[in-house]
Amino acid sequence: MAEDLTVTRGLVIPGSELRERFSRSSGPGGQHVNTTDSRVELSFDLANSPSVPEWLRTRMLDRLATRLVNGVLTIAASEQRAQLQNRAAARERLAALLRDAAAAPPPVRRVTKPSRGAKERRIAAKKRRGVTKRNRRASPDD
1-40 pLDDT tens trace: 468 888 888 888 888 888 888 887 666 666 665 666 778 8
pTM beyond 0.75: the answer is no
pLDDT at 27: 61
Span 60-87, average pLDDT: 88
- Report the range of poorest mean pLDDT among 36-40, 44-48, 70-74, 97-101: 36-40
Span 45-74, average pLDDT: 90
CB atoms within 10 A of CB 98: 23
List the one residue out of 47, 90, 51, 54 whose CA is nearest residue 70: 47
Burial 6-22 (b: 16+ CB within 10 A, else e): ebeeebebeeebbeeee
